[in-house]
Each structure stands twice: as C-alpha cells, then as structure tokens.
Amino acid sequence: MPNVTRGGSSAGLMMYLFGKGDANEHTDQHVIAGDAGTVARFGGEHLDRDGRYDLANHLDAPMHLWEREVVVPDRRWDPEKEEHVRVGDKPAHVWHCSLSLRAEEGQLTDEQWSTIANEFVSEMGFSTDDPNEAGCRWVAVRHGLSKRGNDHIHIAVNLVREDGTIASTHKDFARAQSVAGRLEERHGLAVTAGRQRSSEALAGASKAESARVDSGQRRHADRDELRRRLRSAAAHASNEREFIEGARDLRVLVRPRFAKGGTSEVVGYSAALTPALVNGKRGEPVWFSGAKLDSNLSLGQLRARWPDNDQAAAVPAWKERGRAARTGAWDTPQRASAPAVPPAMAARLAVLGTSGAKVGRYAATELSGAFASASLYFEKNTHGPLANASSVFAKAAAMPKWRADKPDAKPGARSRMAADSIYAVRLAMRAGGPSSSTGWRAVMRQADRSSKLMASQLQQAGNTRMATEILGSVKAALSQFEKLSGETVGELEQNAETETQTPRAPRRTPGVGLDNGIER
C-alpha cells in the first residue's frame, strides 16, 4: 500500500525516519537499500544525529551542485473567496513514499524489502541501470512495525538527478499504485482493493474495511469472510437453489441482479454479511458483487459447476432473498452453522488427484471450496492456514491460461477413468458415513494428491511461483487440520480401505457453529 507525499527537507525526514516515532514505535532503524553511493556509505547503518544530517546532505548534493529548485504551488484557504488560493511556491524536492503490508501478511526480510524497494524505484523512473543515464539519489529505511502492526519501509528520493535534470512526478500517485500492483503479483503479496491488475489476483481489503478490523468492529475484512462462506456454500451445493439456501444458513445476504426488462432472468448477484448488532441496533449491510469478490464466485462460473442446474427453479428463491434484503427483513439464523463434509464434495475431489489427469480451473475451484469448508468447520471464526489455502486455489483457478479440464485421451484412459469412478464411490461412502472426521480425512487426502499433481503441471508449464505457493499452503493447511481435528492425514494414506473393505462408521459428529465474525 503506497502512500506518497512531497516535502522540502531531507534532513527533517531523516530525523523522523531514524527517530523514535510518534508513539516510540520505531525500533532497529537502518538503511536497507538505495542508490549505489548511498548503500556504499550508509547501507545497514543505524544513524545517530550527525549521521542523519550526513545522509540528508548526501541525498541533496546534486541539487546543491547544480543549484536547482523543485517547487510546487503553495495554496492557502481564503475565507473571503471560500477557496484555496495560490500564495506562492514551496520547496518539494523530497519525494517520499511508504510501502506497507497488512499486518496479517506477516513480515518480510531485509533482503526481500531491498529487492522490492529497488524494483519500485526503478519502475517509478527514479533510478536506472543504464550507465549513460543519470538517476536520482534515494534511500530506503526500515524501522520496525507501525502502530497497527504493519511491516513497512520508507523510500526517500531527491528529485534532482545526478546530471541536474529533474525527475518527472506526473501522475506519480497513480503510477505508484500501478507499480505496487505489479510488485504484489510478482512477490506473491496480497492485492489491495482497487488495484486488481489481472484475473489471477484477489482484491484485498479497502481502507474502510481495514479500519473496521483495526478498531475491533470486525474480526476479518468483510470481503475475506464473504469469500470463505460463499466458496463453502458453492462447494456444498449441487444447484443454484441450494447455493442460495446454503448462503443463508451461513448468515450471508444475497440479492439478485435481473436482466433488463423483467424479473424472470437472474444474470448476477451481490452478497453481504448480516450486519452486526451494535447497541441493540443493526447496521447497514456492505454489499459486494460476487464476480468482484472472486471470479470463481460469479453466477456464470457457479452455474458451470452444476450440470443439472435449473435456473428457472431458482428464480423464486432469488426473489425471496432480494425482497428480504430490500426491506431489511433479514431472516438469516442468529448463528451460522458450518456443515460437515458432504459426499458430493469428496466424490468430486476423488477424480481430480488421479495419476495422469489434467487439472485446471475446475480442480482449483473445487479445492478452494473444500478448504473454505474445512476452514469454517475447524478454524471457525479464525482465518488460518485452511482459509489461506482456499484463497491460494482461488487465485490459481482465476489464472487466464489453463489446460482444458478434460481427461487424458491416451490409451488406457478409459479403464483408468473407470477405476477412478469406483474409487470416487468408495470415497463418497466414506465421507458420507456416520463419522465426519473420517470424511474430512478423506477430503484432505484427496486435496493433498490433487494439489501435488496441479503443482507438478504448473511447474512444467513454467509457473514456479504458483506451484510453490500451492504446495506451501497445502502443507500448512494439512498441518492445521491434523492439529485441530486430532486426525492424521497420513494414516488414511497408509490404511486406506481397499475396494472390498467396508468404510468405518463411528459416531456421527454434527456440524459446528460459528458466529458472524462481526457479532458481539
């Protein structure tokens, strides 16, 4: 999240960056990157007061050498004219930008931040690797977490280049946002809302959502929780109407978007969490388009998952949900209940992780839904590794280039598909038996098999970053499952029933309850 400002005092900025901070939050203040001269002289240094002035003078040296000024209009409020009027110019040679991560993303190393800082400054046009071109003097400083726990760095640039020319700041805020978007995708970071560059990215929380989380009004950003619940509802549904009912059971409000000229055809929808009770009153719902939450949650993509879907049969349910949303007569349950694993989910996953199968958008979407359901069931109100795995597979499912989701046509494919079908039936029986833990173990095992196959194919296609992200997220998710369920995924692999064995049938475990993530 870049935050761009302009100023006229390099020394003042250095004093702040290497100081204690407004709330004594600055710790371990040091230089992590900069132009070649700056790094050679100040790299890794913890600067005292004299050192800060030395760094400021170093950054300003080309400006003083060439006797250049960089100014912007100085505007003041005129109470008589009731508008801001220009009263002169003010110095603005210091271009300052902070790059920040959301607290839940954790922390990067100095080396990672150094790479990001160098790429950011280069793509902003302030530095260059061309020996025939002059660049600006700049420095990147890291001084610990912000008051809200966000890992971040500060970049300061003197806009006067080594040859005395002045770097362009035209549309610098928009360019900074664009560059940040590219860096987010390149380095596997969460993508901020409003900066979604490609369908592979999932928009992150807006500033308003982040503020509600920081203030304690929400446990998680609304869009993150909506994605988790809608993915689960879709994974448990076999048609459109069941999806609508499943969303309601998870305390999600939905309203339809009809085709122009009538109310007989639904072409899209919006969703919102049921507003929380605050001082005995309900707030207003915050609505998000299903397609903008996650392209896999668009109505068209959802319908593609349900081959026997009857769109017309779902219209009355859409109208009922829309009427409830419009009138404020929300009839969602007071407490959401995360359902146990359904047999259909396990059966669908069974054919995804088979040897030789080509996996793609369909497989990634199914896995995203499976991990979202597991997160609701086991992590409940916490977004942990299971929820993260769901998001990773959602990103994978949204990649623009996938091999066709068709079975391999090589000799022997039909017999293998038949064996896969038999295995799918056995897995469905196991998942649908009286033991929900046995069912979830079956799903986790299949998710493990499918993800490894998917990662292998992505690796062969040259997408190492996504392959690595998938394997890492699944490893963490399986560890979380074993920790929370008390089951071991590996035991299922070693003790998997043969086709002649009868699935075990311990006592049934009911679905677990969870609150809205925003209730008090």
DSSP string, 57-125: HHHHHHHHHTT---EEEEEEEETTTTEEEEEEEEE--EEEEEEE--GGG----HHHHHHHHHHHHHHTT
Decide if 106 is inside a domain.
yes
On the CB side of 453, how many CA atoms lie within 13 Å of its CA? Answer: 21
Q: Which residues of the chain have pLDDT under 70?
A: 1, 22-24, 104, 190-217, 277-280, 341-359, 400-438, 490-520
Instruction: Tell me: do 17 and 138 sit in the same domain.
Output: yes
Asked, for residue 21, whether it belongs to a domain, the answer is yes
457 and 316: one domain?
A: no
Instruction: Please give the residue range of the domain that contains residue 485.
Output: 337-520
Within a domain: residue 475?
A: yes
Based on the fold, state whether residues 302 and 249 are members of the same structural domain. Answer: yes
Identify the pLDDT of residue 509. 37
Q: Please check whether residue 463 lies inside any domain of the structure.
A: yes
pLDDT number for residue 432: 47
User: Looking at the domain assignment, is residue 429 inside a domain?
Assistant: yes
Side by side, the strands of the sheet bearing 252-258 are: 252-258, 266-273, 288-289
Indicate if 283 and 427 belong to the same structural domain.
no
Please give the torsion angle defined by the CA atoms of residues 125, 115, 400 and 459, in that order, rounded to the nearest 10 degrees: 150
Q: Would you give the distance in Å from CA 476 to the centre of its chain? A: 17
**Pair 341, 285 in one domain:** no
Q: State pLDDT tens for residues 219-262.
A: 788 888 999 999 999 988 889 999 999 999 999 999 999 988 88
Same domain? 328 vs 378? no
Tell whether 162 and 241 lie within a shared domain: no
Residue 446 has a pLDDT of 83
- Would 256 be classed as within a structural domain? yes
Give the count of domains, the chain. Answer: 3
Q: Tell which of 313, 334, 355 closes a domain.
A: 334
What is the DSSP track for 365-402?
HHHHHHHHHHIIIIITT---HHHHHHHHHHHHHT-S--
Alpha-carbon distance of 129 to 474, in angstroms, equals 39
* The 3-state secondary structure of 160-204, one letter per residue: ECCCCCECCCCCHHHHHHHHHHHHHHHCCCCECCCCCCCCCCCEC
Say yes or no: 74 and 171 in one domain. Answer: yes
Report the length, in residues, of the chain: 520
For residues 184 and 196, what is the distance between their CA atoms, to the nearest angstrom? 10
Residues 315 and 371 in one domain: no
User: For residues 174 and 176, what is the distance between their CA atoms, to the nearest angstrom?
Assistant: 5
Residue 96 included in any domain: yes
Q: Which residue, 419, 296, 403, 395, is CA-closest to 358? A: 403
Both 408 and 295 in one domain: the answer is no
In a domain, 424, yes or no: yes
pLDDT of residue 157: 97
Assess whether 374 and 327 both reside in one domain: no
Residues 395 and 438 placed together within one structural domain of the fold: yes
User: Which domain-ending residue is among 334, 349, 365?
Assistant: 334
Last residue of a domain, one of 280, 314, 334: 334
